[in-house]
């Protein structure tokens, strides 16, 4: 019998392979149950949340739609951490606030896309 793995899972597996991350390491880093990626089921919202929390540089739109870059960069709205030591703590706090805002936006966007996918299947 042929396995029918969801597109979300296929893309997560593609990401892991591109980063040379083993499934064992993935389960350990995310806290997701062993074997989840091999099951013939979809991906739950908590699984996606854990995935994006562990790998915040992965493009949520790519995971959901397959479009765009696999990994986010500064052009996609994610601020890259500067190299070297931080000189000004106030400046760093402001950068972190901006980053937090961007993450909130991405999470809200992801939730909206998930809802649209759920509604389109109904």
At 71-104, the pLDDT tens digits run 887 554 444 444 444 445 555 677 777 777 888 8
**41 in Cβ contact with 6 (< 8 Å):** yes
Global model pTM greater than 0.75? no
* b/e per residue 60-75 (b: at least 16 CB within 10 A): bbbbbeeeeeeebeee
Position 120 pLDDT exceeds 80: yes
Evaluate whether 26 touches 18 at the Cβ level (below 8 Å): no
pLDDT value at residue 25: 94
**Domains in the chain: boundaries:** 7-121
Q: How far apart are the first and last CA of the chain?
A: 27
Q: Which two tokens stand for residue 109?
A: 């966007």
Q: Which residues pair with 58 in a beta bridge?
A: 71
Half-sphere exposure of 31 (CA within 13 A, CB side): 8
Q: What is the average pLDDT score of the chain?
A: 81
SS3 91: helix
């Amino acid at each position: 019998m042929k396995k029918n793995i969801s597109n979300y899972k296929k893309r997560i597996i593609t990401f892991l392979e591109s980063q040379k991350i083993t499934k064992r390491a993935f389960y350990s880093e995310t806290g997701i149950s062993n074997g989840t990626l091999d099951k013939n089921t979809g991906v739950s919202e908590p699984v996606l949340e854990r995935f994006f929390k562990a790998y915040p540089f992965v493009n949520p739109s790519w995971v959901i739609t397959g479009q765009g870059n696999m990994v986010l960069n500064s052009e996609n709205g994610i601020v890259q951490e500067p190299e070297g030591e931080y000189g000004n703590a106030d400046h760093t706090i402001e950068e972190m606030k901006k980053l937090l805002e961007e993450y909130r936006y991405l999470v809200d966007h992801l939730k909206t896309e998930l809802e649209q996918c759920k509604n389109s299947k109904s």
